Amino acid sequence: MRINFKETLNNLLNRKKSFKKNTLDNDSQAQENTDLSTIENKIRCEKILNYWLDVELFDLPECPFKNNKDILSEEAESFTAKIATDLVVKIKNNSDYIHDESRLVIMFQCHKAGYIAENIDLHPNFIIPKTYLVAHSFVPHYDPKVGTIQWSLSTEDKDLIINLSTIRTIYRKCPPSTAHNLSLSEWIAARVDEIENLFKINFSDPEQKDLFTTEILQDKIKKINRTLSNKFWPEKTARDFMMLHCQALESEYAHDVLDQPAITTQGDLTFRWRFSFYPEGNESQQLGPFFVKDLEHCINQLDQKGLSGLSMPLQKYLCGTQQRTYIPEAVGHGHFYVPLTHRIALGRWPTNAKYGLSLLQTLAVNVAKETIQNPVVAVNGPPGTGKTTLLKDIIAERFVLRTVQLLKFYTKNNEAALLDNTELLDQVMNYSILVASSNNKAVENISKELPSLNSIAEEFKADLKHFSHIAAQDEWGLFCAVLGNANNRKNFKKTLAELSAYFRFINDRYRLNLFTKQISNTDDISQKLIYLKKQIEFWKQNQLIFDLFADFEQCSNFKTHLDFFKPLREALYKVAQDKLQIAEFLEFAQAMQAPEWDKLTFAFIDVKKQWFAKKLYIKHQENKLNAAISDFQQTFKELNQCLGAAEQFIVSTENLDMWQLDAQEHLSNASAYKLSGSIDPSEFESILQKSTPFSSEKINQCRSQLFIHALALNEAILETQSAELKKYWSDLEALLDGHLESNEQPVYHQRLWSMLFLFFPVLSTSLSSVENQFKLMQQVEGFGLALLDEAGQAVNYQVVGLLQRCKQVVFVGDPIQLEPVINIPYQIDRSIAEDYMLLAHQYAKQEWGDLYLVSTQSAQTIADRASQYYAKIGEREVGIPLLVHRRCLEPMFSIANRIAYDNKMVAATSIQHMQDVHFIPSGWIHVEERAENLNAKGYANRAEASVALKVIQYLAENQAAMLAGGVFIITPFTQMKNEIIKEWRKQAKDPNNHAWMNCALGEKAQHKNYDHFWRENIGTVHSFQGKEASTVIVCTAASVLRRKTGGIKWVNSKPNLLNVAVTRAKSHLFVIGHLRDWSTGKLSIELQDDMMYCYQSFQAFVEQPTIDYQQLKAKPHMMNHNESTTFYFGG
């Protein structure tokens, strides 16, 4: 959401003065006694939130420059062609191309902000941010009579964006004379006023009604761009600073001709301006902070209401949980685990019923059941440990529980309107579910996976439906609304329109009105045949043919037209029974002439009128509803007996037999956890971790069926409300866009939110869209459950708005995979934080403020401390750990287990697909360059790139099965990624290479071509989070010869990068690089040990005899991966 910068800035600066005055004494006392219990929670929350707001507000706004597919902003030179010419053409061709929300955004003084990295060691992939000094939006006004556009300055405060971070840097590093004798806040306030006046003066012309042609606009933009440079770096010291630390935005190489800012003939220093045009409005574009409003709102709530103004999840997140419960090993701790696993979840995602949740997955689901006791639940899931599986079961149970409440209400008030009952609305909102992530791909993946038929077991596919006729062909129904950015909302509105249309004509279950209207409105017999074909396909697909004629027979007009309907009925019965194909039926229909078509039309219209008059459709709705209620109640009653017995620990032999529970396999009592006989304790721990508490195949089938019946019942009840829902459909779109206005906002908004959740139990969004997407939900804990996926990648303060709106938040992630992308360097982060919080100043020491630093603490690590239940992985304290790994075979599993998880993970990956398969064993392929042949500096290692492609070619031509599941080429370094892509595209020019290149795509992507490979299968580690392939090739790139030992140390400083890279490989891993140079790394050495073969050259790799999986033998190996590293980038 764009914000009013001036208002927000003034609020922050005023609050900062008051905040320091009121709390510094408290903080001084806290410094004398650092026991966290002495720090009053309200003050602590104020400090953290104000610090986070400061970081967010003073963060660099991003200039949307380029991505892989398109240019997000344009250079000034193309303004005339793009705006004066191309835009006019687009508007002439489509008058709806622009509207009131369309905006032209001009970004002034665009540059690379090198000053934020001054005197800081940066990791090798650090990219200097692209930013601008000021951005302002202009509104287009098109005159169709003369075919020209005029522009006016937007008067909305949110359409002005000012780069406060750069302004603050100038003030601190090279203050101009205008800053002398002024505080930072005074100088910034003065600059904001000056910028506002600059635009008002230049774009005020009453005679022209404040409208300007494109040519005049362009001239004024140039003038303002120069003026802004003179206002912010008018003197030599400031110009020298900007010249030293900044680059032009277009600069790509060290000695690019555009590498330096421009110097005018008057000696002024200036950067260029850029522009972006957004026909749909720039609400969702990367032009400003996304979290300011939510942070401000929470601070205000805290100020006005104290801690009660914050949601319980947010309170826990900020203050932590004092009395926490340690999760011990399973062996001998049945008394701990049984009470936390015996509450069987009512619903289950309908996957294969043979497989249940593992021990710790079950514990996590049980803990998440207790919303009030556990407002924050942190689940730590290493790669391949079933995080999504766990989330699906939580979702399924919440939906079943909501259906129970819905049925209770409907049974008591079946004549009443659902949305008029506030008690029911509260229940619907209690069980509402949001799925969010900072990683857009993660949100997209889970949003697609929920309604996907691919993950559903065959035995359930036929019955699993929820408005399935509106869903996509590869989906089982409507369940998840994918929201967030403008494009997602636009696509979702299409689904809403289809749903609204279905309910508008819901009584016409046979689509008789549409059919008769279509064939009546055309005399073209070929067109009539098309309509008839579609109608019969619809009847057959939805199994309506027998019902259709059964209903017709109850209409007296049916007998009047019996000579027509009788042969039609006989033919369509055969179609329904697959005794006659629709194409064969149409062959007879093709012989019909106009009089016969008239007879068909009249007969259908005549009977249709009686059918509607008799309201025969009601009977079908009632039958559908009654059947759905009966199925749901029967399954619920059956399952409830099992639930009651388990929760009361009545696990008699009779109950065990009835539900096919094995006391040991399903851990139905504490004695199942006791070590007995001569079994090794570690082996028994592994067995217990893989066990499935209270999760027999029969129970899983029953739980899955209950979820399926709940979906059917939900659909049936909603269909009875079609008349009542009509008045709300149009307002749903306005609600999602945040533009809805109503006199009784809170009540009416809740009614609309409830309606949305009734149809779509899950809404998904990215964290960056939460503030804007849910700006009409400001009620504390207005939503029920939020599931935050990939929380280890989430910036800690970016979840505040989500937590404030929900009753419970489940964080699912892994801090030992990819870390959050943070633009603010560590030292700058600390300098901001010290204005608010107590920080440690000695190495290896820690104060309470260190636990909330943006640059070092992800959302997952803070949630781990807020969660009631925790475990230890080495020296790390984590939330509920998921330890049963089902993705990687050896040696990848053992490598990841050693370097990242203290050997706590348990292998459960099936090796069935590897039986009787011979392959080249995983290993390290040594590549050593010579100084005289060094082709490029930095990390662009052409020798390794060449070997990587040779490996793929050899496998494609000799071991194609190893590439069947795809192959990734991964590197830690951006320069190396570009080098590999360059080499791939170079070799792709030779048609002789196309065969093996296409093979590299794998079986699932065979419809793509080799050009797709370099876009999707080559990249840095960060681009492969959440992906997997049968084979992974890692190019290390760095070496002593290249003088890049810093890169080797960086990769080895934390296990995150290697952990992600290794665990992308399901079956085979090949590392390419200098063996000796990388053997010095305490983590990378693990890629050369145990089951990893060491190939002294590519030729040695080619000559290696193949082996089968049973020949891989792991050697015992232990390491202290928690030993501190002495190498840091930015702290």
At 934 the three-state DSSP class reads coil
Q: Are residues 716 and 790 in the same domain?
A: yes
In this structure, the dihedral spanned by the alpha carbons of residues 611, 614, 620 and 623, taken in order and rounded to 10 degrees, is -160
Which element (helix H / strand E) includes 444?
helix 440-449
At 967 the three-state DSSP class reads strand
pLDDT at 14: 63
Numbers of helices and strands, H then E, in the chain: 44, 30
At 271 the three-state DSSP class reads coil
Crossing angle, helix 697-719 and helix 616-647, to 10 degrees?
Answer: 150
CA distance 903 to 893: 10
pLDDT at 916: 66
CA distance 728 to 902: 54
> Which is nearest to 431 in space by CA: 802, 721, 782?
782
CA distance 476 to 453: 6
At 152 the three-state DSSP class reads strand
pLDDT at 903: 92
Residue 307 lies in a domain: no
Which element (helix H / strand E) includes 135?
strand 134-143
CATH of the domain at 445: 3.40.50.300
Give residue-wise pLDDT tens across range 35-62.
445 458 899 999 999 999 988 877 778 8
DSSP 1042: T
Q: Which structure tokens are listed for 942?
A: 């052409």
Residue 839 lies in a domain: no
Q: Are residues 968 and 1049 in the same domain?
A: yes
pLDDT at 215: 94
Q: Which structure tokens are listed for 1122?
A: 């928690």
How far CA 139 is from CA of 64, 79, 101, 205, 870, in Å, comes to 20, 16, 8, 15, 53
Residue ranges in the chain modelled with pLDDT below 50: 1-2, 21, 23-36, 38, 68-69, 252-259, 284-286, 744, 1115-1131
CA distance 1095 to 17: 64
Give residue-wise pLDDT tens across range 73-82.
888 989 999 9
Q: Are residues 113 and 227 in the same domain?
A: yes
Q: Where does a domain end: 585, 614, 643?
A: 614
Which element (helix H / strand E) includes 808?
strand 806-813
Q: Where does a domain end: 225, 256, 288?
A: 288
At 436 the three-state DSSP class reads strand
Termini Cα distance of the chain: 32
Q: Are residues 274 and 405 in the same domain?
A: no
Per DSSP, what are the bridge partners of residue 248?
111
Residue 144 lies in a domain: yes
Length of the chain: 1131
Residue 840 lies in a domain: no
Q: What does the DSSP assignment read for 351-390? A: S-TT----HHHHHHHHHHH-TTT-SEEEEE--TTS-HHHH
CA distance 917 to 894: 21
CA distance 989 to 174: 52
Q: Are residues 179 and 230 in the same domain?
A: yes
> Which is nearest to 107 in space by CA: 71, 62, 69?
62
> By the 8 A CB rule, do 1067 and 384 touch?
no
Q: In what order do the strands lie in the sheet with 246-248?
A: 130-131, 111-113, 246-248
Residue 325 lies in a domain: yes
841 Cβ neighbours under 8 A, 6+ residues apart: none
Half-sphere exposure (Cβ direction) of 589: Cα atoms closer than 13 Å: 23
Residue 296 lies in a domain: no
- The CA-CA-CA angle for residues 311, 317, 319, to 5°, reads 100
Residue 1116 lies in a domain: no
Which element (helix H / strand E) includes 248?
strand 246-248
DSSP 513: H
CA distance 268 to 843: 45
**At residue 305, what are phi and psi to the nearest 5 degrees?**
-120, 0
Number of folded domains that form the chain: 5
Crossing angle, helix 41-57 and helix 312-319, to 10 degrees?
Answer: 90
477 Rama class: left (phi>0) / alpha (psi -120 to 50) / beta = left
> Which is nearest to 951 in space by CA: 996, 1016, 1012?
996
* Radius of gyration in angstroms for the set of CA atoms belonging to the chain, rounded to a whole number: 33
Q: Are residues 806 and 931 in the same domain?
A: no
Q: Are residues 1028 and 1050 in the same domain?
A: yes
> By the 8 A CB rule, do 557 and 606 touch?
yes
Residue range(s) defining the domain that contains residue 201 = 74-288
Q: Match 């392929």 to its residue by tokens.
A: 925
Per DSSP, what are the bridge partners of residue 582?
none
Q: Are residues 487 and 366 in the same domain?
A: yes
Quick one: how far is CA 366 from the chain centroid?
25
Residue 480 lies in a domain: yes
Q: Are residues 693 and 729 in the same domain?
A: no
- The CA-CA-CA angle for residues 541, 543, 549, to 5°, reads 125
pLDDT at 263: 83
**At residue 236, what are phi and psi to the nearest 5 degrees?**
-60, -40
pLDDT at 335: 96
Q: Where does a domain end: 697, 723, 743?
A: 697
At 736 the three-state DSSP class reads helix
413 Cβ neighbours under 8 A, 6+ residues apart: 421
Q: Are residues 607 and 623 in the same domain?
A: no
pLDDT at 429: 97
Q: Are residues 394 and 475 in the same domain?
A: yes
CA distance 1008 to 1001: 8
Q: Are residues 689 and 712 in the same domain?
A: no
